[in-house]
Amino acid sequence: QSALTQPASVSGSPGQSITISCTGTSSDVGGYNFVSWYQQHPGKAPKLMIYEVTNRPSGVSNRFSGSKSGNTASLTISGLQAEDEADYYCNSYSSKSTLGIFGGGTKLTVL
Amino acid sequence: QITLKESGPTLVKPTQTLTLTCSFSGFSLSTSAVGVGWIRQPPGKALECLALIYWDDDKRYSPSLKSRLTITKDTSKNQVVLTMTNMDPVDTATYYCAHRLMDDYGDSEAFDHWGQGTLVTVSS
């Protein structure tokens, strides 16, 4: 099962907005509204930031938002802060797996 | 408050069987609409879903690892156990267990609470 495609790295300055893409196929991202996003700081467990494409769990800042168009989902972080520097992973339900597949991860650097 | 914690060996030899235990609190796997999954992450690499078990004993496995994995639950002990047979050095990874987020419509296909993870090294 191929992983979802994410850019290896993105960067932005404090206060700016960045977007991380996650590209799949009609069997996963494009076919279902079950895309989630996780933030992972070095040496820490992942933290759920977005689920079902656009939903934020309680306690997650509204600077984080999710969207989807066709086979590509996106995570947008507005008003970048130093604490946002981390790895970000997307995940989608897949009809070929039924367990979900992750993207390869994107390293966000806050300049 | 939901918490999960993984336990098991930190070092296993090639061909051995790995047994990991996830001990949790703050929810019960005997309650409707609850699930617990296992996810792993090789050093410096991406996350990979391994297996998932629901309150009704429904189970899902990674297609590529299905023949090597078994997931079970012990509701009386609030534990989920994952066994992986025929371990190989490529299975060296941090193994996480996580709570499945259920919403008003059912399984959200996301994990909202994670354990701290346990690093398992496969080496002779």
* Tokens linked to A109: 């650097």
pLDDT in tens, A30-88: 999 999 999 999 999 999 999 999 999 999 999 999 999 999 999 999 999 999 999 99
How is residue A51 annotated by DSSP? Answer: B
Using an 8 Å CB-CB cutoff, list residues of chain A that contact chain B.
1, 3, 32, 34, 36, 38, 45-48, 51-52, 55, 57, 89, 91-93, 96-105
Q: What pLDDT digit, counting tens, does each position of B8-59 carry?
A: 999 999 999 999 999 999 999 988 889 999 999 999 999 999 999 999 999 9
Gap from A44 CA to chain B (nearest CA, Å) = 7
Look at residues A10, A21, A22 and name the one whose alpha carbon lies nearest to residue A93: A22
Give the model's pLDDT for residue A62.
96
* pLDDT confidence tier of residue B106, bands split at 50, 70 and 90: confident
User: Of A55, A89, A98, which has the smallest distance from its Cβ to B47's Cβ?
Assistant: A89
Phi, psi of A12 (to 5 degrees): -165, 160
Beta-ladder partners of A38: A48, A89
CA-wise closest residue to B23 among B79, B82, B75: B79
Rounded Cα–Cα distance for residues B54 and B69 (Å)? 16
Quote the pLDDT of residue B119: 98
